[in-house]
Amino acid sequence: MVKSWAFEFIPAREGFTKSYDVDDTALRNEKGMAPDEGAAYFEFYLNLWSRAEELGFYGIFQSEHHFGRGYSPSPNLLIAAMSQRTKNLRIGAMGMVVPFNNPWRIVEEIGMLDNLTGGRLEIGTSAGIPHELESAGMSPAEGRERYEEALQIIDAGIRQPIISHSGKYWNFHDLRLVPRPVQQPHPPMWTTVISIESARKAARRGSKITTAFAQNEQIRELFDAYNEEAAKHGHPTGPEQVGLRRQIIIDESELVSTSRSEKLQDELHKMVAKTDKRYVAPGQKAFDAPSGGHGFTIGEDEYISGTPAQVREQVLEQCERTGAGHFLSIFGGCDDLDQLTRSWELYAVEVNPALARA
């Protein structure tokens, strides 16, 4: 079985206001949203996610982004809202940007959310995107330092109710962190990685991993390194521990999906090149970057497009080639909410059953 997830950005795009009745363009702000459209926009997504259970999705991961094209600066708020509309769906953030938060507060929110979801929470953490850190006045180096120290606090806090810590950024003694998570010994942990070194670090923590962008062969290398390191430390290994995230462009017409895919590729490459210093030029091997840092390219395998049958074949092939036991779909290249809804439905009918049988 390959577990099917939806990965959400909630893009801030003017085209996604098409389905609403508000026509007074004079009221629209710089993002193309009229004041009374915001609530309807979130309501659309909450309704879409609520249907995910009947559509055969295993879970939904929210993302956290700031200062840009996404409407999800606080994914835990969305998780709380989703917890009241769903019963079995696994819910999480992939991931919470740890350097922007107090780690002991993250532990408290994890406890609250795991209770609100009835033990359905997945914990995802991220060190953040360099340009977002810099926009907030934090260097990527400081962000990485804060992330590494905060993980020590988070890992301790989800396992025991009273913790102490002495470090560079946080110092406290005998903090009582409540409420406690429902899932024991703790909710599943996830880390987004783009380098083999980061994959090995996650393996040593006992965290699952997810990745994207690179070609399948390179991702298989990353997953193999993760499994090797996890085995050394007595942690679980195999498909259940690793997830593959890809852009899905699906339509009954192959011609339409191809056109949408080409447009998405052009937009995504330009956006990432502009906003993420870790991005390296096409043709370089993924995980190589200038000055010895961690970088990534966006390979052709990132985009899965075609008719429902073609998408199903590609998804199954990529999971087999990489060894992924979780597949995270981003339904990209949609011009409006109606098209987005149709993409979810096509995928649910044609792909989810095959993943459940894989």
Its domain, for residue 339, covers: 1-57+239-358
pLDDT at 244: 98
pLDDT at 270: 79
Answer yes or no: do 176 and 67 share one domain.
yes
Q: Could you give the number of structural domains in the chain?
A: 2
pLDDT tens profile 42-82: 999 999 999 999 999 999 999 999 987 789 999 999 999 99
pLDDT at 280: 67
Answer yes or no: do 29 and 123 share one domain.
no
Answer yes or no: do 50 and 76 share one domain.
no
Answer yes or no: do 136 and 27 share one domain.
no
pLDDT at 68: 78
Answer yes or no: do 49 and 90 share one domain.
no
Q: Between residues 345 and 24, which one has the greater pLDDT?
A: 345
Last residue of a domain, one of 192, 225, 254: 192
Using CA atoms, how far apart are residues 93 and 34, in angstroms rounded to an integer?
A: 28
Grouping H, G, I as helix, E, B as strand and the rest as coil, residue 45 is: helix
pLDDT at 210: 98
Answer yes or no: do 172 and 247 share one domain.
no
Assess whether pLDDT exceeds 80 at residue 36: no
pLDDT at 281: 58
CATH number at residue 172: 3.20.20.30
pLDDT at 236: 98
pLDDT at 275: 67
Cβ–Cβ under 8 Å, residues 321 and 242:
no
